[in-house]
Structure 1
Amino acid sequence: MTGLLVGLLLLAGCATDTDPGGTSPASPSATSSASARGVELSPAVPARPLTGMVVVLDPGHQLGNGHHGGEINDPVDAGGFEKACNTTGTATDAGFPEATFTWEVATRMRSMLRRLGARVVMTRDGNSDEEWGPCVDVRGSIGNPGEGRPVGDVRISIHADGVRGDAATGFHVIRPGGLDGWTDDIEADSAVLADDVRDALVAGGWHPSTYRGVDGVDVRTDLGTLNRSDIPAVMVELGNMRDAGEGAVMATSAGQGRYARALVAGVRAWLTR
């Protein structure tokens, strides 16, 4: 938890999401002055601690999915069983779409992670009303060894829930359960990743779900995005868009930035273990 708090403080110290997680090194004169006074200086924090690492970000859904019902309803292999290619996602009661929320969080994360030295691979290229998909089998395969793009070290699939219920609030992190031939190679590492992401969200001021999972973590074997992954992966439902309070926060730039900083802190904690 100490590492997560340090990561969050570093990320929170930036004025915008274009300068996340970085710290300005003390000037030579300031350092010399402190040394002359006998002040013990903390070890320098690496400026780019994620250099050489690849993070796959999967912003859930796509704005155009609603205009391509035939395509997104076509079945695909979700891990030994068939499931619809994709869905339209949910929205706040005021009409702010999940697809836009997940895209905004993902692009903020991309900026932060790049500043920390990571290479970022996105599973979709934009947030367009004209585009649809990709299907869950494709999203879950991007970044896998042999897929043709840079091989990922970790995959984070970003979503928000749409549950009707007076007390249905909070986030939950979904990790893949045991599915022979599909998740055996990532289940254990993904469980650790889920805990790190959960801890970072809590440290960032978000509370675990009141309606799903245990202590903010749920286990599922029915999600193609996780089942098709050959790198450690989790899916995050960052809150309930149908709750008026949570939905309002998700629709703001400040709220999207807070979610992004917490998720980056969780990814950083796991990658730098």
Structure 2
Amino acid sequence: MLNVSKAVRVAGLLLTGTLGTAGAQASAPSTPPAPAHAVSAATTRTVSSVAVEVSGTVKGQIVSCPKSLKVSPAAVCLYVQNTPASLRPLIRGKLGTRALGDWKTSGQASSLLVASTASGPAGAAVLMAPLSERETLLIVDAVQAPTAARPAPPAGVVKGQPYVLGRDLVGVVSVTSLGGGKYRLTRSGEAPLTVTVGQKTAQLGSGNVELPLAPATDGQQLIFPLAGLRALGCTLTPTSGNITVACGTASVGLKPIVF
């Protein structure tokens, strides 16, 4: 028989590339997700459950995972006296509907995603690499959930700068859409401020003023630079992480938006 410890190290090298370059299969079906390094108790239970099922099916022997692999603390490594080609259908059949898709291969290594529940998202992955002509290393580990992409900020906003929505100013400043990207901001007893999306120059009464930043819009409402409210004679006072906007005798507390 092949020296198990040495063979496991060899298989670890084969699997390193599979783990290191993997992404979320939910968003890229041809690529398995990378193992998670910090896993929840529920995910650990999923990994353990899958490892028990797989081990019983393939009659695997638990061994230490190769140090070259960046697996999570929940990972279980199994030494099996059989070929990957023989093991793949056995494992796929045992997992049934919990197996997500089919085996994916990368060189000599292959991987299969497993759902956390009968109809849930991927919670574990089974990876395998040959040790010899008749021996295989299996790894059952947690997988990372795909990260939702953050929506792009509205066009024209400056990252790191505070803005307010027109609706946040109700009670102190009235915001009216004039169409064509123009808005009128008014407060009681003062000249109105007419602004245009994408332009710093605004009209205050019969004259012009320069805003610190150009207003923007999300297609439905005005996104106005917080500091621009000073053009209306409003004052801005920080209060416990929020801002108090006072325009004459009226005031409102709000939390600015920073993109």
Scaled to the shorter chain, the TM-score interval is: under 0.3
Is the strand fraction higher in 1 or 2?
Answer: 2
The TM-score, its normalising length taken from structure 2, stands at 0.25
The TM-score, its normalising length taken from structure 1, stands at 0.24
Q: Which has the higher contact order (CA 8 A, sep 6+)?
A: 1
Greater Rg over alpha carbons, structure: 2
Is the helix fraction higher in 1 or 2?
Answer: 1
